[in-house]
Amino acid sequence: MPKRKFGISVERELAEELDGLAARLGVERSALVERALREMLKEHRHSAEEHDCRALIVLSCQEGKEVSVVAEGLSVTQLHEHREGSCVQVLLVSGSSSKIYSLFSSLAQAEGCEAKYVALH
Ligand SMILES: [Zn+2]
Ligand SMILES: [Zn+2]
């Protein structure tokens, strides 16, 4: 595929980390940036259109900050583990993509918790 060159500016620290990673992996910096862009754009396309979705949400909360997951209108299969002062919940959710995304957003905003989202298609 033909390539197009363009200049971008990023924080120095980020650029140095990118150069370090490119050196460790033995690939061109451009190849890494291209891969990251593809992932980001794919994610954006995925969330842009309402569809029947299946995704994993991984929620990790500090002890005492645990939230209970309420997922109305979605099918949810759940794993739940407590270990070393943290609570981890893995949710396999199916249903409306906008409902899944709003569930993820509310979990990601919970204090003392971190949430990750992985679409499974
Ligand atoms: Zn989806
Ligand atoms: Zn828990």
15 Cα: distance to centroid of ligand 1 (angstroms): 32
Domain range holding 25?
A: 12-48
Query: Do both 82 and 42 map to the same domain?
Result: no
Asked whether residue 36 falls in the same domain as residue 63, the answer is no
Cα 2 to Cα 10, 31, 33, 59, distances in angstroms:
24, 14, 16, 41
6 inside domain: no
pLDDT tens digits, residue range 38-79? 999 998 898 899 999 999 999 999 988 988 888 899 999 999
Query: For residues 63-101, b (16+ Cβ closer than 10 Å) or e, as one string?
Result: eeebbebebeebeeeeeeeeeeebbebebebebebebbb
Q: What does the pLDDT read at residue 1?
A: 81
The confidence score (pLDDT) of residue 36 equals 95
- Segment 102-114 mean pLDDT: 95
Mean pLDDT to the nearest integer, 108-120: 94
Average pLDDT, the chain: 94
Total tally of structural domains belonging to the chain: 2
Residues with Cβ within 5 Å of ion ligand 2? 66, 87
pLDDT at 111: 95
Asked if residue 100 belongs to a domain, the reply is: yes
* In the predicted structure, residue 12 carries a pLDDT above the cut 90: yes
Cα(87) to centroid(ligand 1), Å: 26
- CATH number where 79 lies: 3.30.70.260
Please tell me whether residues 41 and 62 are part of one structural domain.
no
106, part of any domain: yes
Report yes or no on 85 lying in a domain: yes
Ligand 1 centroid, distance to 8 Cα (angstroms): 31
Q: How far is the CA of 12 from the centre of ligand 1 (A)?
A: 35
Residue 94 has pLDDT above 90, yes or no: yes
> Are 62 and 28 in the same domain?
no
1 within some domain: no
